[in-house]
Amino acid sequence: MAIVTIDGQEIEIEDGARLNGIEAARRAGVEIPHYCWHGGLSVVASCRMCLVESGRRDLQTGQVSMLPKLVPACQTPATPDSVFITNSEKVRAARAMVEEDLLIRHPIDCPICDKAGECSLQDYHFEHGQKERRADLKPFTSRRRSLGDTVTLFVDRCVMCTRCVRFCREVAGTSELMVTDRGAHEEIDVFPGFPLANKLSGNVVDICPVGALGDKDFLYQQRVWFMKGHSHVCAGCSTGCSIRIEENQGQIYRLKPRENPHVNQWWMCDEGRYGWKYVHAGERLTAPNAEGKVLEWPAIIDKLQTDLPKAGRLAVALSPFQTVEEAYLLAKFIRQIDPQALIGVGPIPHSGDDESYPSGFTIRAEKCPNRRGIEKLAGALQGELLSWDTLVKRCHPEDEHSAQGLWIAGGYPAPAPWGTDPWITESLAALPLLVVQETFPSPLGERATFQLPATTFPEREGSFINYGDRIQSFTWAIRPPSGVHADGQLYWRLLQQPGLYQARPVLSELAEFFVYFSAASGPIPDVGLDLKINQLAASGPELAGIASAHTPHPTA
Amino acid sequence: MSTEFEPVLLAHVGQPESHTLGYFEQHGGYQSLKRILSDVSPEELVEQVKASALRGRGGAGFPAGLKWTFLDKKSRPIYFCLNADESEPGTFNNRILMEEDPHQVLEGLILSCYATQASTAYFYMRYEYPRAWDRVQRAVDECYAAGYLGPNILGSGYSLDVFLHRGAAAYICGEETGLIESIEGKRAWPRIKPPFPAVEGIFRKPTVVNNVETVACVKHIADRGVEWYRSIGVPPDPNNPRDIGSFGPKLYCLSGHVERPGCYEAPMGITVRELIDQFGGGVWKGRRAKAAIPGGISMGLLREDEFDCPLDFNGPGRYGCLGLGTAAVVVMDETVSIVDFLHNSCQFFAHESCGQCTPCREGTSWALKMLQRIKAGRGRLFDLDLLLEIGDSIGIMPGTTICGLADGAAWPIKNAIRKFRDEFEQYIRQTNPNGYAETSPVPAFDLHAIHGTISSST
């Protein structure tokens, strides 16, 4: 255990934690301003905003000896006995100098800059800058150029922290961005004919500490202070990146990655980042109908409750876009009507191969967030895993145990995957009772007994379990469009539960009944929880290194 | 200075064919190499260089032998970089050595590589030296043909390859880690230290970077011995236990307003005045000197009444300068305007700042903008305070930059304004009688005429 002193406050740092001055100070609740340093990138120590006084405390005498020069906190490791001073006059003067320097050639066009409100240059200026401008005023220019399909560079706003350049080299491994020219003429640029075109390009906008890199998709759409951010999980692939959905009055404007060392570090891919547009698409199914007639929800719910018990053998296809809580409620409802009902999973969308980047970040080929969760749930309820193909076969009239009623839970972003295969459409449409919940109308849905509008991921509440058994919980970020009942609320009502659907009690129920979910009985942290830990523990101390480490050996 | 001083570095400069192997061997060249490769171990050679207290001639004056001992012994290969990116304004001693006596440099280089057990040496030469390039390349070819370079040199079992690498005319490539990045094919942005090049240098391997004149001195230490070397120059300051003295012969580049500018060899510790009078033939046209740069423009400025400053590693520092630097003395006579001098200096550093660290990138360009405005008759007395503030706050001395370029930019500003403040104030009052006392920012509209159009202003 190392003791590090920050502004006179002693903090303990566990062994093996390789922290720099900025990270150590953060643990002490002290913010050291910085531009070029980023936890996910190499250290260049060039912006010089994080200059602090540093020194060492002699363990025997308690004597502190400080270095005469200022040092960049980002480049200075917090080792045992390190001493940092971040609030001295000398440090303040250095920060004021860097802040003044960065504003000499900056256009100070905050009123028309997208970054205003979340800009480090702006925030630090108020906190650390000079009171008055002393340099000559700069003639205003607003030079900008496109770096690629996703990003625009506002040349004059740049502070040359080179985070974006390092990101392209180190994280994406594509090296499109570079620095051209020298000294005060320096600019970020791409080589002619080689635009910024990697699948992680949107991240450079997030890591830009100022308004130099603008996201073309978000540019001039919304002032940042009007938006509310909601912690959520990306539904684009089975990586399940931790994200923040930023919306204003139910309209989403952008998605941003949320730091999660276990899943996505600081990043997300462009596919996920810009892949939310279907949520607000006008073609979305927004009215429930039964046998082709649009009905009000109370009527639909009544009709479902009367028709389903009459259908005979039931089956349900849980959707990999549903949260485990929603899927569980649906399965529970169906099993309440028919205790022998078949519980399987809907189609799992795939596209291409997994794409891994030098940083370890991976875009997965499995384009749904919760296959793992619903498969574990369906498998546990059914005793075996019924895949979509098996389920379709078991619903075919030729099957001896054929089901007569099928509920397909949807929520797929693009046209639903069952819409393409005529054999599936024909055999399923022939069922005496078919309930299809879908986001966009499909040929199968049009022929279903009940066609119900489904929810999209920002409207869902509950938990996704990613490819690696990490469960992440979230609440809804926006309400579904008018006419759409959120999946959870619909099942809640079908189960005749009082009040509003809440995911947490449902998850507790899951944790109580199913070994796989047992770790989720307690609170789920922001970064999620690895369900494997409890699985190992449940399988006995021999398999779980973690369990035996804490349990004294019987022979000892 | 002592009369018995015998020049060694320049001994053959000016002789016909002095750059050829034949001439060099006739005058005792490569004898030390033969002797040392057969009789002296690398460790012994390092000890000799350490004992001689040879200090780097590139500018910082770091003890060369000590630098060699920092090499990471466990990691192989070791690279040797010869820094011939001589770009400090006023400096041309490496050029003389490379053009007129390249084999002297190569023998020193091979000895230094042997001492450090480097297997590859990169000879990083600045772009603007085509003649030196041709002659060094020819000398390297001659050495390969004669067996002084290549595998198993002179049957000793020691192998060395030398590659010439030509810079692309950037001042920052002379900074050792900038040079390393440049050799790796990258933008010459100096690296953060630690790790130092001796631990992680070129291609993340242990690397030594030494100046051309430094390795030439190694040859003469090998030829004539440590005692000879230590008999020349200035002994350590007894009041400073960390001073190891300034020994050996030194090449001084004398230019500016003197009768006979040139590169002269003298013992360490010669004063500026002695240099001007004994070698330079006095100030040009019999005028009075006003100031001199002690060792390349980045070292600052000496007033005429400070010309007794000894040019050793400690001397200029006692007169408020940054150090000895490259020992390039530029003399300015009484007709020179210090405002012009500072403008020129600021222009150079604003142009050459690599742009990595904020204080240097913005500080140098801000200083230049102010000097341009002062020269355009819109100066304010307040600008002098701002300039001094920039000068005092940029560089590795206060810890605000990665490399020393900003210190080099700061010292001319600090020295010129502190030593010639009256002249600056007078200039500003005369050229801007109505606005010299202003302190508020100058409006952008007024600056177009001074800095030109937006994109072309420096």
Q: What count of CB pairs under 8 Å joins A to B?
A: 114
Given this model, what pLDDT does residue A16 score? 85
Residue type, B133: W
Given this model, what pLDDT does residue A137 score? 86
Cβ pair B355:A183 closer than 8 A: yes
Residues 374-393 (B) with a CB less than 8 A from some CB of A: 386, 393
Residue type, A363: I
Least confident residue range of A97-106, A135-144, B272-281, B416-425 = A135-144
Q: What is the band of A398 on the pLDDT scale with cuts at 50, 70, 90?
A: confident
Q: Any chain B CB within 8 A of the CB of A131?
A: no
Collect contacts of B429-436 with beta carbons under 8 A, ≥24 apart.
B429/B381, B431/B374, B431/B377, B431/B379, B432/B377, B432/B378, B432/B379, B432/B380, B435/B378, B435/B380, B436/B379, B436/B380, B436/B381
- pLDDT higher than threshold 50 for residue A547: no
At A322-357, the pLDDT tens digits run: 999 999 999 999 999 999 999 999 999 999 999 999
Q: What is the band of B175 on the pLDDT scale with cuts at 50, 70, 90?
A: very high
DSSP secondary structure string for all residues of A363-384 = E-SB--S-HHHHHHHHHHHHSS
- Strand A314-318 to A342-345 pairing: parallel
Q: Any chain A CB within 8 A of the CB of B369?
A: yes
In A311-350, which ranges are continuous DSSP H helix?
A: 324-337
- pLDDT higher than threshold 70 for residue A502: yes
Residue A226 and residue A152: Cα distance in Å, rounded?
22
For chain B, how are helix, strand and coil distributed in percent, rounded to 5? 45, 15, 40
- Cβ-nearest to A46 among B351, B356, B396: B356
Given this model, what pLDDT does residue A551 score? 39
Contact B431, B383 (CB under 8 A): no
Given this model, what pLDDT does residue B450 score? 85
Contact A410, A450 (CB under 8 A): no
Residue B279 and residue B273: Cα distance in Å, rounded?
10
Percentage of chain B with pLDDT > 70?
A: 98
**CA-based nearest residue in chain B for residue A156:** B455
At B280-305, the pLDDT tens digits run: 999 999 999 999 999 999 999 999 99
Q: What is the band of A47 on the pLDDT scale with cuts at 50, 70, 90?
A: very high
Instruction: State mean pLDDT over A139-164.
Output: 93
In B210-254, which ranges are continuous DSSP H helix?
A: 212-230
Residue B223 and residue B225: Cα distance in Å, rounded?
6
- pLDDT higher than threshold 90 for residue B454: no
Tokens for A309? 């018990």
Residue A240 and residue B226: Cα distance in Å, rounded?
69
Collect contacts of A288-296 with beta carbons under 8 A, ≥24 apart.
A288/A450, A288/A451, A288/A452, A288/A453, A288/A483, A288/A485, A289/A450, A289/A451, A290/A449, A290/A450, A290/A451, A291/A449
Instruction: State mean pLDDT over A183-198.
Output: 95
Instruction: State mean pLDDT over A373-383.
Output: 95
Percentage of chain A with pLDDT > 70?
A: 95
Given this model, what pLDDT does residue A554 score? 38
Cβ pair A94:B400 closer than 8 A: yes
Q: Residue A375 contacts by C-beta under 8 Å, 6 or more apart in sequence?
A: A345, A385
**CA-based nearest residue in chain A for residue B454:** A139
Using DSSP, state whether A21 is helix, strand or coil.
helix
Contacts of A186 in chain B (CB under 8 A): 355, 361
**What ipTM score was computed for the predicted complex, to two decimals?**
0.92
- pLDDT higher than threshold 90 for residue B320: yes
Residue B375 and residue B386: Cα distance in Å, rounded?
16
- Measure the N-to-C terminal CA separation of chain A; round to a whole number of Å: 28
At B95-113, the pLDDT tens digits run: 999 999 999 999 999 999 9
Using DSSP, state whether B205 is helix, strand or coil.
coil
At A277-286, the pLDDT tens digits run: 999 999 999 9
Contacts of B170 in chain A (CB under 8 A): 182
Q: What is the band of A536 on the pLDDT scale with cuts at 50, 70, 90?
A: low
- pLDDT higher than threshold 60 for residue B190: yes
Cβ pair A48:B369 closer than 8 A: no
Cβ pair A48:B359 closer than 8 A: yes
Given this model, what pLDDT does residue A31 score? 96
| Nearest Cα to Cα of residue B207 among B281, B122, B303 | B122
Q: What is the band of B363 on the pLDDT scale with cuts at 50, 70, 90?
A: very high
Q: What is the C-alpha R_g of chain B? A: 23
- pLDDT higher than threshold 60 for residue A258: yes
Least confident residue range of A134-148, A437-451, B142-156, B444-458 = B444-458
Tokens for B352? 């050459």
Contacts of B187 in chain A (CB under 8 A): 179
Instruction: State mean pLDDT over A460-472.
Output: 96
Using DSSP, state whether B262 is helix, strand or coil.
strand
Residue B433 and residue B431: Cα distance in Å, rounded?
6
Q: Phi/psi at A435 (nearest 5 deg)?
A: -110, 125
In B353-380, which ranges are continuous DSSP H helix?
A: 358-373
Residue B310 and residue B231: Cα distance in Å, rounded?
17
Contacts of A124 in chain B (CB under 8 A): none
Q: Residue A324 contacts by C-beta under 8 Å, 6 or more apart in sequence?
A: A370, A373, A374, A377, A462, A463, A464, A465, A471, A507, A510, A517
Cβ pair A47:B444 closer than 8 A: no
Residue B190 and residue A345: Cα distance in Å, rounded?
57
Chain B: give the shortest CA distance to residue A76, in Å: 10
Neighbour count for residue A29 (Cβ, 10 Å): 10
Cβ pair A45:B192 closer than 8 A: yes
Given this model, what pLDDT does residue A262 score? 94
The torsion angle over the Cα atoms of residues A296, A301, A303 and A304, rounded to 10 degrees, is: 140
Cβ pair B401:A69 closer than 8 A: no
Chain A: give the shortest CA distance to residue B134, in Å: 29
| A84 compared with B240, residue with greater pLDDT | A84
Cβ pair B362:A105 closer than 8 A: yes
- Measure the N-to-C terminal CA separation of chain B; round to a whole number of Å: 45
Task: Give the residue from B186, B354, B358, B394 with the most A CB atoms within 10 Å of its CB, the best one to mutate.
Answer: B358
Q: What is the band of A545 on the pLDDT scale with cuts at 50, 70, 90?
A: very low
Residue type, B323: G
- pLDDT higher than threshold 80 for residue A397: no
CA angle, residues A66, A67, A72, in degrees to nearest 5: 115
Least confident residue range of A53-67, A252-266, B359-373 = A53-67
- Cβ-nearest to B353 among A45, A137, A183: A183
Given this model, what pLDDT does residue A538 score? 56
- Strand A64-66 to A51-57 pairing: antiparallel
Given this model, what pLDDT does residue A420 score? 67
Contacts of B353 in chain A (CB under 8 A): 182-184
Q: Any chain B CB within 8 A of the CB of A101?
A: yes
**Torsional sign, CA B182, B186, B191, B195:** negative
Given this model, what pLDDT does residue A418 score? 72
Q: Any chain B CB within 8 A of the CB of A47?
A: yes
Contacts of B397 in chain A (CB under 8 A): 69
Neighbour count for residue B21 (Cβ, 10 Å): 21
Cβ pair B192:A102 closer than 8 A: no
Given this model, what pLDDT does residue A555 score? 39
Neighbour count for residue B343 (Cβ, 10 Å): 19
Given this model, what pLDDT does residue A396 score? 80
At A156-173, the pLDDT tens digits run: 999 999 999 999 999 999
Tokens for B234? 């200035």
Contacts of A73 in chain B (CB under 8 A): none
Contact B202, B186 (CB under 8 A): no
Task: Give the residue from B362, B384, B397 with the most A CB atoms within 10 Å of its CB, the best one to mutate.
Answer: B362
Contacts of B361 in chain A (CB under 8 A): 101, 160, 183-184, 186
Place of tokens 């007024």: B446
Contact B210, B83 (CB under 8 A): yes
Residue B313 and residue B248: Cα distance in Å, rounded?
12
- pLDDT higher than threshold 80 for residue A289: yes
Q: Any chain B CB within 8 A of the CB of A46?
A: yes
**CA-based nearest residue in chain A for residue B194:** A75
At B27-44, the pLDDT tens digits run: 999 999 999 999 999 999
**CA-based nearest residue in chain A for residue B380:** A136
**CA-based nearest residue in chain B for residue A50:** B400
At B382-418, the pLDDT tens digits run: 999 999 999 999 999 999 999 999 999 999 999 999 9
Instruction: State mean pLDDT over B137-148.
Output: 97
Mean pLDDT of chain B: 94
Contact B392, B403 (CB under 8 A): no
Tokens for B445? 């509209």
Place of tokens 């004994």: B278
Residue A541 and residue A545: Cα distance in Å, rounded?
7
Helix axes B102-116, B130-146, angle to 10 degrees: 60
Q: What is the band of A537 on the pLDDT scale with cuts at 50, 70, 90?
A: low
Q: Any chain A CB within 8 A of the CB of B449?
A: no
Given this model, what pLDDT does residue A539 score? 55
